[in-house]
Structure 1
Amino acid sequence: MALYVGMDAGGSRSRAAVVEATGALRGAAVGAGANPVSHAPDRALDALAGTLRAALAGLPAADVRGLVLGLAGLGASGADALAARLAELARGAGLACPTHVVGDVVTAFAAGTARPDGTVLVSGTGAGAVRIVARREAEVADCHGWLVGDEGSGVWLGREAVRAALAALDGRGAPTALLPAVTAALLGAPLHPGAGRRGAERVVAAVHREPPIALARLAPQVSAAATAGDAVAVGIVARAADALVAAVAAVRGDARTPIVLAGSVVGGPTPVGDRTRSALEERWPGCVRVAGDPARAAAWLAAQPYVSSIAGR
């Protein structure tokens, strides 16, 4: 029986799925973050290997006919080297099949529609919009990474939450429920406006002790505060949604093709997701859909005869 493997290497977690040619799921696993842009390459590959082995547990490796990995931040310069490492990783798991690396936006788009053309809006750890043509990236807005872009992403929301908390702490900004919520998440106990400079220094130190992508874990604090009506959090949500819609508009024009939403921020029941979906539906009615499992979509792509052209190989 022919099997196909799909993998998704996100900054926060990795996923793997094993499917039959019919699409029936035979194995799945979730592991640690495995994006080599966000993590040390060796650590990322170790995480991928562990997730792959877990998904294949009890299945005949000899029956696997193809593997596709979807990866954020995939540039042409590093694609060949990564493809070689992926092939090595697959051989280590007992696979002797072709392996391909594609952008995670390609797998995200395939997770929402079987059509070859459209737009995918991703907002999870990172964020951006991509126009897809023939299941390949054609035009990109944002996707610039946490330091200079990814507006509306989980990391962006977390950073804005910390900024709002610090501003409330030292009197530069409006009072906000984000101050106790964010400081409790970072420090284990909430701070209040009277905490002063020493409290602010503790917050800054806690943020810098972790990698930047760890800020994404504060995104739920923004959602909770916005849902409760906190004005500062509502403003952050509005700016995030506006940025995400603007990214779609930058690459889409007036197309009537599908708009696929992917990632925990925009694809789930969050205030940012709700506001973004509403704005997109108003502008492009009937076009919006939410992505399913990107690893399973990658496995579906692995079963397609044109997968080599999708991967640019």
Structure 2
Amino acid sequence: MSAPPTATVDLGKSRCRVVVHAEPRVERSGLGAPGLASAGGVTAALDAILPLLDGLPRLDAIGVGAAGAWFAPDAAVELAGLLAARTGARVAVASDVVTAQAGALDGGAGVLLIAGTGAAALGIDADGARLIDGWGPELGDLGSGSWLGRETLRAVLRAADGLAGPTALTAAVAGPVGAPSDVQAWLAGDGALARRLATLAPLVLDAAEAGDDVAAAIATEAVRLLTTSAVAASAITTDVAVHGGLADHAWFRDTLSSSLRAAGRRVVPARGDALAGALLLTRRVDLPHERFVHRAE
């Protein structure tokens, strides 16, 4: 008989993904949870994870990367214990940013720079760990897709009020948003504002690449902010892996990579994702991430 398989979980605020590492490989997804730092966060996490485990064979171990675990370690401990009691498996719970860093750097030292809807940089090395930004769209996520979208709309409104010169961004956002007079109504629309703002990021990056001065200034500041976060995340290692949707824009990825190299960093390809990191942390206890892993049996 083959040994019971391991499952890994990537529990985000919008989506929960589960992979069972067996033959055949099983993948499932469902709704996410508000985060372990939120009121009722542990219950919401269980409600997101357990239905995706229904009907599966007995599991030997479960590795979880959960949003909010960095700021709520007691909740991560509680989640690990309850999940172990419900499934009979060995459980390892860490922050989703920790599992993402472990996957990207294959368990080694280095910085993971997340540049997507939000932004954060996590560096883990012999000196410890530093999480920079990840403060959310109201206070931080500097240089992220939502930040780019917000700055785009500000530029359009400033141009419309005569506070700044004209910009190609006015025409660029006319399709998804409308005229400058429509911006407030668009902001009040349905859906998470940060995600909707981030949909405007490719527009400003395309305009910057095409030579619009206003868009170029916004993109340049985003690169500066992301580079600053990556540098601040580690004083020892120089390796930086970049994750997130902004890296899909070739011009922006190349510009950001050049900035990181100019700051003395070595840009390395991400070797895996958060699910790969969760699997790694489930199987090994000798990594520098161990102090951020909460285990239960």
Alpha-carbon displacement from aligned partner over 1:173-196 (angstroms, at most 9, x marks no partner): 33223223334323xxx32xxx6x
Q: Distance in 2 between matches of 1:11 and 1:304?
A: 26
Correspondences of 1:275-294 after superposition (within 5 Å): 275-284=255-264, 286-290=266-270, 292-294=272-274
Candidates 10, 13, 18, aligned match of 2:12: 10
Partner of 1:220: 202
Q: What TM-score do the two structures reach when normalised by structure 1?
A: 0.76
Q: Distance in 2 between matches of 1:276 and 1:230?
A: 18
Alpha-carbon displacement from aligned partner over 1:94-120 (angstroms, at most 9, x marks no partner): x32133321222212222222432222
Q: 1:30 Cα deviation (Å)?
A: 4.3
Does the aligned pair in 1 maintain the 2:103–2:274 contact within 8 Å? yes
Q: Distance in 1 between matches of 2:80 and 2:201?
A: 32
More displaced stretch, 28-37 vs 221-230: 28-37
Q: Secondary structure at the match of 1:265?
A: helix
Q: Distance in 2 between matches of 1:155 and 1:37?
A: 23
Candidates 65, 72, 89, aligned match of 2:60: 65
Candidates 212, 215, 221, aligned match of 1:233: 215
Candidates 159, 176, 180, aligned match of 1:185: 176
Q: 1:227 Cα deviation (Å)?
A: 3.3
Q: Secondary structure at the match of 1:18?
A: strand
Partner of 2:293: 311
Q: 1:166 Cα deviation (Å)?
A: 1.9
Change (3 A) 1:252 1:89: closer
Q: 1:11 Cα deviation (Å)?
A: 4.1
Partner of 1:79: 73
Q: 1:149 Cα deviation (Å)?
A: 1.1
Partner of 2:187: 207
**CA root-mean-square deviation:** 3.4
Q: Distance in 2 between matches of 1:46 and 1:312?
A: 16
Change (3 A) 1:6 1:229: farther
Percent sequence identity is 32
Q: What TM-score do the two structures reach when normalised by structure 2?
A: 0.80
Candidates 107, 116, 126, aligned match of 2:118: 126
Partner of 1:259: 240
Change (3 A) 1:75 1:9: same
Candidates 144, 161, 164, aligned match of 2:155: 164
Q: Secondary structure at the match of 1:16?
A: strand
The runs of 5 or more residues in structure 1 that have no matched partner are none
Does the aligned pair in 1 maintain the 2:173–2:203 contact within 8 Å? yes
Does the aligned pair in 2 maintain the 1:5–1:302 contact within 8 Å? no
Higher helix share: 1
Aligned residue identity for 1:5: A
Q: Distance in 2 between matches of 1:244 and 1:118?
A: 15
The runs of 5 or more residues in structure 2 that have no matched partner are none
Change (3 A) 1:289 1:35: farther
Candidates 124, 135, 143, aligned match of 2:134: 143
Does the aligned pair in 2 maintain the 1:32–1:47 contact within 8 Å? no
Aligned residue identity for 2:131: V
Partner of 2:229: 247
Q: Distance in 1 between matches of 2:272 and 2:61?
A: 21
